Amino acid sequence: MAQPAFPVEDVLSFAMDLGKSMIRCGAEISRVEETVVRICRAYGMQQTDVFSIVSVIVATTRDPSGKETTQSRRIYSYATNFMQLEKLNALSRRVCADPADPATAREELDKINSDPVRLHPTACIGYILGASAFTVFFGGSWKDALAAAPIAVILWLIGSLVKVHGMSKLFVTALSSATAGFLALGFVRLGLADNASMIMIGDIMLIIPGLMLIHSVREMLCGDLMSGLLRLLESLILALAIACGFAIPILIFG
């Protein structure tokens, strides 16, 4: 029996870590499963079976000598980061076209993963622009849009702090929406803005898992039922946390 060029454990380990990084950047599950299979095949593995949901990847692969290896990875958090996702895709394509030593490929992967964290100062501008624009989009006035901007900065700060201290996503979401609610009502009370609910909707566009909801339905219709269900549940729970957070200032100041 032919021996593969590289140990099956190393190949699978690299493929799994690449898949994990992709999920952490917000890739679809089908893309992740495809990537793991393609990489294993590129290294000459005979058969690869992979199952993935948003929090776990499990894969078994068999090398030409018939030796089987199973590995799993656990994913704890994910956020959309297209720049990194694009780099990971490029790396995967490069490795599939020319299967280099897994150790070298892993160095490249580590380099991509060591890129600066997600909450970059440009993201702050994104928060302000997104919140103000969507305040107007949902029917707010220009004053409301101006009021939404400082709230967006505070949401960005809360988000940054979480990345450092690793607090529960659910708690932080509720905290963010409660803070935004208090500030929005405060601005209206001070006469600096016209409509608190428009400011709130503009600002919650930043934290509401709307895109996650669409992705979940999409994954379920594509056949990734488990992953889609988990995403659907998560987006509903996050929306509930946001509603609870906003309920506090509304019930107090109504």
Partner 1 sequence: MELKQALILILAGAAGTCGFSLLFRLRKKLIPCAVIGAVLTLVVYVICLRFLHHAFFQNLFPALFGALYAEIAAKVTKSPATQYLACAIIPLVPGGGLYYTMYHFVTGDMASFHTQLTQTARTAAGLAVGIILISVLVHQWRYRSLKTIFEEE
Q: Which residues bind partner 1 (CB under 8 A)?
A: 27-28, 30, 34, 37-38, 41, 47, 80-86, 89, 118, 120, 122-123, 125-134, 136-138, 200-201, 204-206, 208-211, 213-214, 217-218, 221-222, 235-236, 239-240, 242-244, 246-247
Indicate the Cα dihedral angle 190, 194, 199, 202, nearest 10°.
Answer: -150
When the beta carbons of 192 and 222 are compared against partner 1, the nearer one is 222
b (16+ CB within 10 A) / e for 76-89: eebeebeebbebbb
Amino acid at 224: D
When the beta carbons of 103 and 214 are compared against partner 1, the nearer one is 214
Q: How far apart are CA 73 and CA 79, in angstroms?
A: 17
When the beta carbons of 75 and 204 are compared against partner 1, the nearer one is 204
Please enumerate in sequence order all residues whose Cβ is within 8 A of that of 130, keeping only pairs 6 or more positions apart, or say none. Answer: 152, 205, 206
When the beta carbons of 175 and 190 are compared against partner 1, the nearer one is 175
- CB-facing half-sphere around the CA of 28: CA atoms within 13 A: 18
Closest separation in Å from C-beta 190 to partner 1: 24
When the beta carbons of 18 and 242 are compared against partner 1, the nearer one is 242
Closest separation in Å from C-beta 130 to partner 1: 3
> Which regions of 79-208 does DSSP assign to beta strands (E)?
none
Put the strands of the sheet holding 56-62 in their side by side order.
Answer: 47-52, 56-62, 68-74
When the beta carbons of 86 and 101 are compared against partner 1, the nearer one is 86
DSSP state of 167: -
**Which of 195, 189, 200 minimizes the C-alpha distance to 248?**
200
* Residues composing the chain: 254
Closest separation in Å from C-beta 135 to partner 1: 8
Specify whether the CB–CB gap between 109 and 17 falls below 8 A: yes
